[in-house]
Structure 1
Amino acid sequence: MTPDATEDTEDTTTFADLGLRPELLRALLDLGYEEPTPIQREAIPPLLSGHDLLGQAATGTGKTAAFALPILQHMPAGGGDGAAPMALVLVPTRELAVQVSEAVHRYGRDLGTRVLPIYGGQPIGRQLRELQRGVDVVVATPGRALDHIGRKTLRLDALRMVVLDEADEMLDMGFADDIEAILQETPEERQTVLFSATMPPRIDSIARAHLKDPVRIQIERESTAPGEAPRVRQSAYVVPRAHKPAALGRVLDVEAPEATIVFCRTREEVDQLTETMNGRGYRAEALHGGMGQEQRDRVMARLRAGTADLLVATDVAARGLDIEQLSHVVNYNVPSAPESYVHRIGRVGRAGREGVAITLAEPREHRMLKTIERVTKSRIVVEKVPTVADLRARRLELTRSALEESILEDDLEHFRVVVDTLADEFDVMEIAMAAVKLAHEASGAAADEEEIPEVPLRSEREGRGRREPAGRDERRGRGPTSGMTRIFVGAGRSAGVRPQDLVGAIANETRLSGRDIGAIEIADRFSLVEVPQQAADDVIASLRQSTIKGRKVTVRRERFPAR
């Protein structure tokens, strides 16, 4: 289904036009939602009619309401009377599980719908009590859902709808087998919904296997008219690693964003960069999986209140966050997968406003930018890092704009006596220049004399002669990557262990995401996995409590042989 190109633009579809029940319409009105987004307008009618659905839309387009409202439409008023849930929503991260659960609760508040998020890292006792008491909608990460199914504490026999939200992200995190196992336990006559920002072949394979004649919806990014600027301006700067914090500050000073998310790969990098940026005078806050929910809530409250304007985060921690005033997204490193890049830049350029996506690439990552361009079919302009002279000019321009606004808007009459007194002794131009100097310095525009070296980019022809990175066999016996610790897992190829099994086990039971995990080597009888040093003990303890390929295995730090 696609929007009708001949539709009269003045004939706006409302939520009432979609046939939603009065309780939902009241909740939407109280929340300030005036009309459905394209994905909601296209998805809700077929879902209300009982069709399976395969939907593709970028992050931030309103997918949650697109499946939550149809779920709630069929809920009995006052909540269900049985213990088993009527709907199951699978999501990749605990952060998204909480946010989806909160959204369903808000939409269904007048219905008394019982909603429960279940995910790893949360005390299982509360989950067990709530499941025993009875819930209508369960929002879960795949690993924890499968755990409850195995314990017989999550019954799926009454399910009417199963939703796979952010399906591509779940596959990237190694949850493919868990999803298959969960779907095998659900009733044959269920309604199945799959939403994804991208549609790799694996997603299509799941759809063919588990969706029955689905309605297919693809919401494209809004195209721009000839001569207009794109909704998301994409650029990159090639910078040596040692100069990245300075380059980030330089770019932010020139861009002057309203609010920014900077994506880092690991928690350690998030904490270090946050400290560095605060030391440089920015109002930066960290957000990663090592923080409790209360800490995260405080960070988001400061960002939304304007007391912080720079959020430094890992992918998983920022997943599903909706920040209205967000204007810029920065990739502190080039994302390892084009799909991750698509997810990140989808957070800006909404509601007709221009967004900016910036990537800081190290020289060795330049080719990865070309891969992202090819896959996403969008151009990423490689620009030069602003010089000290550029920065000074930009800061002076901001001072000039502030003075111009004051002249036009403020009541300056009571300052006239100061100017008149000084004019008896000095030229008016000198007085004005002194006033501009003081205003400029008061704005916090400190001198930045550090020049960032320009990195010459090699052509493809020059690049072909370079030696390729060491192969996997060549790397064996070497220590782990800087900042990482290698974990020994006592199961390998002979036990059928694959990289996604290890990634899924770690991501499901710890606060790490798939992107936090480094190199994985699988031998016949054991495997080696690189994880951030500060998370190693947590990973070891968690894996010792869980199973891999259905059995307990030895887990410890790698013991390096004497050299």
Structure 2
Amino acid sequence: MTTNTSEGQVGFADLDLAPEIQRALTALGYEEPTPIQQEAIPPLLAGNDLLGQAATGTGKTAAFALPVIQRIAAEGKGKGPRALVLVPTRELAIQVSEAVHRYGTDLGVRVLPVYGGQPIGRQLRELQRGVDVVVATPGRALDHIARGTLPLDGLRTVVLDEADEMLDMGFAEDIDSILENVPSDRQTVLFSATMPSRIDSMARKHLSDPVRVRIEREAPAPGEAPRIRESAYIVGRAQKAAALGRLLDVESPEAAIVFCRTRDQVDQLSETLNGRGYRAEALHGGLSQEQRDRVMGRLRGGTADLLVATDVAARGIDVEHLTHVINYDVPSAPESYVHRIGRVGRAGREGVAITLAEPRESRMLKAIERATGRKVPLEKVPSVADLRARRLELTRAALHESLLEDEDLERFRVVVETLGDEFDVMDVALAAVKLAHESGGAAFDEEEIPELAPRDRDRGDRGRGGDRDRGQRGRPRGRTSPGMTRLFVGAGRSAGVRPQDLVGAIAGETRLSGRDIGAIEIADRFSLVEVPEEAADDVVRAMRGANVKGRRAQVRRERDQSR
């Protein structure tokens, strides 16, 4: 069965949710269910398996969490967990855990997030005391299962949240191993923002006659603008910062995330933007958790309006008043694009997604269009004249608002009257407008940004590829990709290590996804893995206590980067 959003809207009271859950939702300010909640909650309360497709930020967490909580309350608590929620990242584990706690407070539901990078001792103690819902990354869940500290025999519900992300991170085998050991009569729920063939195969393997729910973004009425306005600009690398500044001036975002590929790029761009008068904050893997919290606090508090971040560092964050997502580089995978732009246009609000592409990245834009089924319009970077006109419009709007709302203008009358004795009042007004206009807005380059045409194929890509040694993934042997660092892993082919084992081990213990991990070379007794430079030290620290193919392996930076 497949449902969509064509049904009429209903209230939470119409979904047969327990009074305690309805009270919690009312206290949290929830007024009516989102489309995914409206369509998913009834079949889940009825005990059906469910395969759901909905974009990030559409309310999927409540869609599965509320039925899970109600089932636990109705059937009673057991010695072990009654529900297991598998998620791709530690940030999402924390986010889902907090949501379950808020929804289930009045029913006394106990929830525990379980993820890598956190001391396992605390998790062991909480599991021993007893929890009802475990929200875990697959790697750490398997670790606890192997230790015998995460009993599965009492599970009534298993949820796979952001399943496409988990597959991208190399967790397919881990998920299979977990699901093969849970009770066969459990309820299985799978949510994914995208629905590639791999997800459909997983659903056929692990779900039993599932209800299929697909929630697409609401199509605009004829003549209306789409909820997320997508656009792309073809810009040379040397002009990207200037083009970004002009777009920020024209768009005037309330809050925006600018995605970059590397830590160095984040630092350089945030410094450039601050130098031009914007309030930008950098977020990348080189920041401590305390620094990260301060950055997010400034963004949420309105003392900063731009977050310049890497994909890795931005994973799991949620900014309520976010209006713009800007891809400073084209995302390397269509799924990444979908997840990024899903951060705006939520809960009926309008959002803007902008991509800056170099001519050689045009084919990547085409891949995104094919994957999403939507055209990303190519637009021209605003000219100097466009920018001047926009700034004049902003000045006019600010003055108009001041005239309408400011009741304290009278104290300035003496200035106007004094100058009016010497100059024409119109000239006085013009001078005042000029001062107001010049005092606002960031500096911008007066040079026009050249208009470039997209290029279907970059000459520099020709001839690349070819055969690679068995056990490799990515670039030809001996070269490190830009922005990446190679790590030495003390386990190789003789230990049965495969590329997917290394991807799964690293992704399970860090913020990295499978797409973030670069080339892999597997020798007989060791392996070399490319990771983003900004995340290298975090990966080394996180992997100290982790297993690769069931055994501990030394992980460090490769000593000879020139080999």
Establish whether TM, by shorter chain, passes 0.5: yes
Q: Tell me, in whole angstroms, the C-alpha distance in 1 between the residues paired with 2:449 and 2:467.
A: 34
Question: Could you list the per-position Cα deviations for residues 273-323 of structure 1 after superposition, in whole angstroms to 9, with x for gaps in the alignment?
Answer: 333322322222233445455444433332222222112233344334333
Letter of the 1:118 counterpart: V
Q: Tell me, in whole angstroms, the C-alpha distance in 1 between the residues paired with 2:538 and 2:417.
A: 69
Pair 481,247 (structure 1): closer, same or farther in 2 beyond 3 Å: same
Among residues 48, 53, 58, which one is paired with 1:51 in the alignment? 48
Pair 162,291 (structure 1): closer, same or farther in 2 beyond 3 Å: farther
Kindly state the Cα deviation for residue 196 of structure 1 after the two structures are TM-superposed.
0.4
Provide the residue aligned with 1:504 in structure 2: 504
Structure 1 residue 17 and structure 2 residue 22: aligned? Answer: no
DSSP 3-state at the match of 1:381 = coil
Provide the residue aligned with 1:280 in structure 2: 276
500-509 or 174-183, which moves further after superposition? 500-509
Contact 2:242 2:444 in 1 (8 A): no
Q: Tell me, in whole angstroms, the C-alpha distance in 2 between the residues paired with 1:181 and 1:530.
A: 27
Letter of the 1:199 counterpart: M
Q: Tell me, in whole angstroms, the C-alpha distance in 1 between the residues paired with 2:424 and 2:346.
A: 50
Letter of the 1:547 counterpart: N
Contact 2:165 2:513 in 1 (8 A): no
Contact 1:265 1:515 in 2 (8 A): no
1:379-458 to structure 2, matched below 5 A, reads 379-411=375-407, 412-458=409-455
Kindly state the Cα deviation for residue 265 of structure 1 after the two structures are TM-superposed.
2.8
Contact 1:257 1:327 in 2 (8 A): yes
270-279 or 123-132, which moves further after superposition? 270-279
Kindly state the Cα deviation for residue 534 of structure 1 after the two structures are TM-superposed.
4.5
Contact 2:276 2:443 in 1 (8 A): no
Q: Tell me, in whole angstroms, the C-alpha distance in 2 between the residues paired with 1:4 and 1:404.
A: 41
Provide the residue aligned with 1:323 in structure 2: 319
1:27-66 to structure 2, matched below 5 A, reads 27-66=24-63
The alignment yields a C-alpha RMSD, in angstroms, of: 2.6
Provide the residue aligned with 2:155 in structure 1: 159
Letter of the 1:28 counterpart: L
Kindly state the Cα deviation for residue 329 of structure 1 after the two structures are TM-superposed.
0.7
Letter of the 1:510 counterpart: T
Provide the residue aligned with 1:487 in structure 2: 487
Q: Tell me, in whole angstroms, the C-alpha distance in 2 between the residues paired with 1:384 and 1:37.
A: 36
Provide the residue aligned with 1:539 in structure 2: 539
Provide the residue aligned with 1:2 in structure 2: 3
DSSP 3-state at the match of 1:216 = strand
1:299-378 to structure 2, matched below 5 A, reads 299-378=295-374
Contact 2:89 2:511 in 1 (8 A): no
Kindly state the Cα deviation for residue 494 of structure 1 after the two structures are TM-superposed.
6.0
Contact 2:89 2:316 in 1 (8 A): no
Q: Tell me, in whole angstroms, the C-alpha distance in 2 between the residues paired with 1:344 and 1:48.
A: 31
Provide the residue aligned with 1:467 in structure 2: 462
Q: Tell me, in whole angstroms, the C-alpha distance in 2 between the residues paired with 1:390 and 1:509.
A: 48
Pair 308,501 (structure 1): closer, same or farther in 2 beyond 3 Å: same
Letter of the 1:200 counterpart: P
Kindly state the Cα deviation for residue 555 of structure 1 after the two structures are TM-superposed.
4.0
Provide the residue aligned with 1:203 in structure 2: 199
Letter of the 2:368 counterpart: I
Contact 1:266 1:516 in 2 (8 A): no
Q: Tell me, in whole angstroms, the C-alpha distance in 2 between the residues paired with 1:52 and 1:533.
A: 41
Among residues 105, 109, 114, which one is paired with 2:105 in the alignment? 109
553-562 or 370-379, which moves further after superposition? 553-562
Question: Could you list the per-position Cα deviations for residues 170-213 of structure 1 after superposition, in whole angstroms to 9, with x for gaps in the alignment?
Answer: 10111111111111121111111000001111111111111111
Q: Tell me, in whole angstroms, the C-alpha distance in 1 between the residues paired with 2:382 and 2:297.
A: 32
Provide the residue aligned with 2:472 in structure 1: none
Pair 464,485 (structure 1): closer, same or farther in 2 beyond 3 Å: closer
Pair 477,201 (structure 1): closer, same or farther in 2 beyond 3 Å: closer
Contact 1:120 1:141 in 2 (8 A): yes
Pair 562,280 (structure 1): closer, same or farther in 2 beyond 3 Å: closer
411-420 or 551-560, which moves further after superposition? 551-560
Letter of the 2:72 counterpart: M
Kindly state the Cα deviation for residue 237 of structure 1 after the two structures are TM-superposed.
1.5
Kindly state the Cα deviation for residue 80 of structure 1 after the two structures are TM-superposed.
6.4
Letter of the 1:52 counterpart: D
435-444 or 126-135, which moves further after superposition? 435-444
User: Number of residue pairs matched?
Assistant: 556
Among residues 209, 220, 223, which one is paired with 1:224 in the alignment? 220
Pair 453,526 (structure 1): closer, same or farther in 2 beyond 3 Å: farther
Kindly state the Cα deviation for residue 503 of structure 1 after the two structures are TM-superposed.
1.7
Letter of the 1:373 counterpart: E
Given the two structures, how large is their TM-score scaled by the length of structure 1? 0.92
Contact 1:83 1:133 in 2 (8 A): no
Provide the residue aligned with 1:519 in structure 2: 519
Letter of the 2:348 counterpart: G
Q: Tell me, in whole angstroms, the C-alpha distance in 1 between the residues paired with 2:260 and 2:527.
A: 26
475-484 or 238-247, which moves further after superposition? 475-484
Percent identity for Structure 1 against Structure 2: 76
Contact 1:56 1:198 in 2 (8 A): yes
Kindly state the Cα deviation for residue 379 of structure 1 after the two structures are TM-superposed.
1.1
Given the two structures, how large is their TM-score scaled by the length of structure 2? 0.92
Q: Tell me, in whole angstroms, the C-alpha distance in 2 between the residues paired with 1:290 and 1:85.
A: 36
Unmatched segments (≥5 aa) in structure 2: 470-474
Letter of the 1:530 counterpart: E
Contact 1:540 1:556 in 2 (8 A): yes
Contact 1:80 1:136 in 2 (8 A): no
Provide the residue aligned with 1:254 in structure 2: 250
Contact 2:138 2:175 in 1 (8 A): yes
Pair 226,201 (structure 1): closer, same or farther in 2 beyond 3 Å: same
Provide the residue aligned with 2:551 in structure 1: 551
Contact 2:360 2:454 in 1 (8 A): no
Kindly state the Cα deviation for residue 149 of structure 1 after the two structures are TM-superposed.
0.8
Pair 57,271 (structure 1): closer, same or farther in 2 beyond 3 Å: same
Pair 500,242 (structure 1): closer, same or farther in 2 beyond 3 Å: farther
Letter of the 2:282 counterpart: A
DSSP 3-state at the match of 2:429 = helix
Q: Tell me, in whole angstroms, the C-alpha distance in 2 between the residues paired with 1:450 and 1:361.
A: 20
Q: Tell me, in whole angstroms, the C-alpha distance in 1 between the residues paired with 2:124 and 2:163.
A: 26
342-351 or 20-29, which moves further after superposition? 342-351
Q: Tell me, in whole angstroms, the C-alpha distance in 2 between the residues paired with 1:472 and 1:536.
A: 28
Question: Could you list the per-position Cα deviations for residues 321-380 of structure 1 after superposition, in whole angstroms to 9, with x for gaps in the alignment?
Answer: 333321111112111111111111122223333211101112221110011112211111
Kindly state the Cα deviation for residue 131 of structure 1 after the two structures are TM-superposed.
0.8
Letter of the 1:71 counterpart: V
Q: Tell me, in whole angstroms, the C-alpha distance in 2 between the residues paired with 1:245 and 1:44.
A: 46
Q: Tell me, in whole angstroms, the C-alpha distance in 2 between the residues paired with 1:557 and 1:293.
A: 22
Q: Tell me, in whole angstroms, the C-alpha distance in 1 between the residues paired with 2:347 and 2:391.
A: 29
Q: Tell me, in whole angstroms, the C-alpha distance in 2 between the residues paired with 1:555 and 1:415.
A: 68
Pair 252,64 (structure 1): closer, same or farther in 2 beyond 3 Å: same
Letter of the 2:32 counterpart: E
